[in-house]
Amino acid sequence: MTTRVATRTITISETFGPTIQGEGALIGKPTVFVRTGGCDYRCDWCDSLYAVLPEHKSEWHAMSTEEVFAEVQRLSGNKPILVTLSGGNPAIQPLEPLIDLGHEHGYTFTIETQGSVAQPWFAKLDYLTLSPKPPSSKQVTRWERLDRCISYARGRAGETGPQTSLKIVVFDEEDYAYARYVASRYPDVPMYLQAGNHTPPHLADEIDIPGILNRMDWLIQRVMQDQWYAATVLTQLHVLLWGNKRGV
C-alpha cells in the first residue's frame, strides 16, 4: 500500500465529461477534463479566460489530490479513462500526485501546456501536448523553457516518456511561419496544425463556421504548397460541434 505525503492543493476551475478530446493528437478520444485555474500567459484569443484571469478566482476551488481524483472517478463511473489536464496552464499546478494516484487505478493522463513551465513529472504522463503560442497570441516564446519541457518529457536514460506532440494554432501567414520554425527546431516531435477560431469566447452560439472552414482550407493548401507532409492539419472538432460552450 502506497503512503502519500500531504501536498498543496490543486486549483480547479472546472471538471467535466466524459466527452471527446476536440483537438490535437488525441482528437476524438473519450476523456474526462480537469481544468485548472491560473495561467502565466494572456493570449489575445484565449477561449478559456474564466480559467486564466484573477477576477475569476472566486469561481475556482482548492482541492486535494484525493478530492480531484474522486471527482474523476465519479464522472467516469469508476471506469478508467483518459484524463485531460488543461487550463489555464496546468503545468503550474502540483499534479504529480494526481497522475500517480490515477495510474494506480488504471487511468491515463494527458496534459496540454504552452511549454512556458517545465516540470520533471512530465515524464510520468502518458501523453504530452506542447502548444507554444504563435505571434497572433501576442505572447513571447521563451525557447529555453520549451527546450526544457521537451527534455523533461524524454526523462532519464532508460525511461519511457510520454507520447509527445506539438500543436500550433494558426491564424495567418505569420503564425504559419512560426509553426515552420518550431517544427525545424524539434524535427523528431510530431506537429499538429490547428486552424484558429476567431469567434469571441462569449459568443457561444454564434460561431463563424464558414470563416473557420475557410481558414482550414487555406491552411491545408499552404501545407500542400510547401510539401510539408510531416504535418497534420486539424480543426477544433469541439468548436464545430458545440461552438464556444463550456463543459463539452
pLDDT digit string, tens, across residues 44-80: 888 888 999 999 999 999 999 999 999 999 999 999 9
Give the CB-side neighbour count of residue 3, counting CA atoms within 13 A. Answer: 0
234: pLDDT strictly greater than 70: yes
Looking at domain 10-242, which CATH architecture does it have? Alpha-Beta Barrel (3.20)
Rounded CA gap, 126 and 110, in Å? 6
Rounded CA gap, 156 and 101, in Å? 22
225: pLDDT strictly greater than 60: yes
3: pLDDT strictly greater than 60: no
1: pLDDT strictly greater than 50: no
pTM tops 0.75, yes or no: yes
Rounded CA gap, 199 and 185, in Å? 31
Domain spans, the chain: 10-242
184: pLDDT strictly greater than 70: yes
